[in-house]
């Protein structure tokens, strides 16, 4: 009788253990973040996130809410405000943006504007998306807000509207400023907002080159045309940030937005971004 009782207790224990395992597995299906299958870059500046653009589920993240410097990812917000001005009628496609001496003096990357020149809206947008031109970013800021300082306040206010709670902008270009900070998570929110809010302007981000003043100006985003489904957005680099990249990619109804910050080289950053896309795009939810 004692043996029979012991067997019953043991069987009950095994059943409870099995139930615990099943409950744990069931709980895993509601977790927002999938356990990383991609190793993070070895860099103290590294941060990354991959988000399913259809469901806004986080598929991968590392240090995604740790403060980082945006570098030229900043220009995504400059473009956001420029697109808003176009859509509101404040600007039109024929508008000309004047170039101040201050804007012309901004360091590279730039297209070499001179003080007193003007630039048309289409060329300005391409210069920001493709060349990441700092002279153009400042000219746009001054035209829309009167000064770059005032424009940076507009950028930060718009960031709060987009729920980018950890971002502060101090200039329109991403040139070094210790107070200009963001996170990978915030940059992903901005990238998704650009795609959702301005689908009619989004094609600009997929350009790999454009013509200006009789020259062909090549872009910096080497994933365009190389990785299937990649259609933008922006590269960035300053010493304080390392090599940054915001990418949107879609295949078969699935779409992800991915941010990589703090790469030691552009090549390492690009390879890591490609690995993230190839790993997590297939895990997204199709529309």
Residue 14 lies in a domain: no
Q: Judge whether residue 272 has pLDDT over 70.
A: yes
Task: Give the chain's largest Cα–Cα span.
Answer: 101
CATH code at 85? 3.40.710.10
Per the CB < 8 A criterion, the answer to whether 257 and 277 are in contact is: no
> Which residue reads 């059943």 in tokens?
15
If one counts the domains in the chain, the total is 1
Per-residue pLDDT of 189-248, as tens digits, reads 999 999 999 999 999 999 999 999 889 999 989 999 999 999 999 999 999 999 999 999
Q: What are the residues facing 245 on neighbouring strands?
A: 235, 260
Per the CB < 8 A criterion, the answer to whether 247 and 263 are in contact is: no
- Residue 203's nearest CA partner among 244, 161, 232, 162 is 232
Q: Fill in the DSSP letter of residue 108.
A: S
At residue 23, the pLDDT reads 39
Residue 130 lies in a domain: yes
| CA gap 247, 17 in Å, rounded | 44
| CA gap 184, 67 in Å, rounded | 8
Mean pLDDT across 127-143: 97
Helical ranges in 68-120 per DSSP H:
75-88, 101-104
First vs last Cα of the chain: how many Å apart?
61
Per-residue pLDDT of 247-256, as tens digits, reads 999 999 999 9
Write down how long the chain is: 287
At residue 286, the pLDDT reads 87
Sign, CA torsion 98/101/106/107: positive
Active-site positions read 72, 75, 132
Per-residue pLDDT of 43-81, as tens digits, reads 999 999 999 999 999 999 999 999 999 999 999 999 999
At residue 1, the pLDDT reads 42
Residue 26 lies in a domain: no
At residue 39, the pLDDT reads 93
> Which residue reads 């990812």 in tokens?
73
Degrees to nearest 5, angle at CA 246 with 242 and 250:
150
Per-residue pLDDT of 151-172, as tens digits, reads 999 999 999 999 999 999 999 9
At residue 22, the pLDDT reads 41
Residue 15 lies in a domain: no
At residue 4, the pLDDT reads 44
At residue 36, the pLDDT reads 59
Residue 18 lies in a domain: no
Residue 17 lies in a domain: no
Residue 7 lies in a domain: no
Between 35 and 25, the higher pLDDT residue: 35
Residue 93 lies in a domain: yes
Query: Per-residue confidence at 287, pLDDT binned at 50, 70, 90?
Result: confident
Per-residue pLDDT of 174-190, as tens digits, reads 999 999 999 999 999 99
Q: Fill in the DSSP letter of residue 133.
A: -
Q: Which domain holds residue 131?
A: 33-283
Q: Judge whether residue 140 has pLDDT over 80.
A: yes
At residue 37, the pLDDT reads 79
Per the CB < 8 A criterion, the answer to whether 45 and 242 are in contact is: yes
Q: What are phi and psi of 46, to 5 degrees?
A: -70, 140
Taking all residues of the chain, what is their mean pLDDT, rounded to a whole number? Answer: 89
| CA gap 273, 227 in Å, rounded | 10
């Amino acid at each position: 009788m004692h043996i029979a009782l012991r067997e019953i207790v043991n069987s009950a224990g095994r059943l409870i253990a099995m139930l615990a395992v099943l409950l744990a597995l069931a709980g895993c299906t509601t977790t927002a973040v999938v356990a990383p299958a991609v190793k993070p870059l070895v860099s103290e500046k590294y941060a990354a996130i991959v988000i399913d653009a259809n469901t806004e589920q986080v598929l991968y993240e590392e240090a995604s809410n740790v403060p980082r410097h945006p570098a030229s990812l900043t220009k995504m917000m400059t473009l956001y405000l420029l697109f808003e001005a176009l859509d509101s009628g404040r600007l039109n496609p024929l508008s000309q943006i004047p170039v101040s001496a201050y804007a012309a003096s901004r360091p590279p990357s730039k297209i070499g504007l001179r003080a007193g020149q003007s630039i048309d809206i289409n060329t300005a947008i391409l210069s920001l998306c493709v060349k990441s031109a700092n002279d153009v970013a400042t000219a746009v800021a001054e035209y829309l807000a009167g000064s770059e300082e005032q424009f940076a306040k507009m950028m930060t206010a718009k960031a709060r509207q987009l729920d980018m709670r950890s971002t502060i902008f101090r200039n329109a270009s991403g040139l070094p400023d210790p107070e200009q900070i963001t996170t990978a998570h915030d940059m992903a929110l901005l990238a998704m907002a650009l795609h959702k809010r301005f689908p009619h302007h989004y094609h600009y981000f997929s350009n790999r080159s454009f013509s200006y003043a009789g020259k062909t100006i090549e872009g910096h985003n080497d994933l365009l045309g190389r990785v299937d489904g990649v259609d933008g957005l922006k590269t960035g680099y300053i010493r304080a940030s390392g090599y940054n990249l915001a990418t949107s990619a879609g295949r078969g109804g699935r779409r992800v937005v991915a941010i990589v910050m703090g790469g030691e080289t552009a090549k390492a950053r690009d390879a890591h971004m490609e690995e993230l896309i190839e790993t997590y795009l297939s895990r997204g939810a199709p529309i």
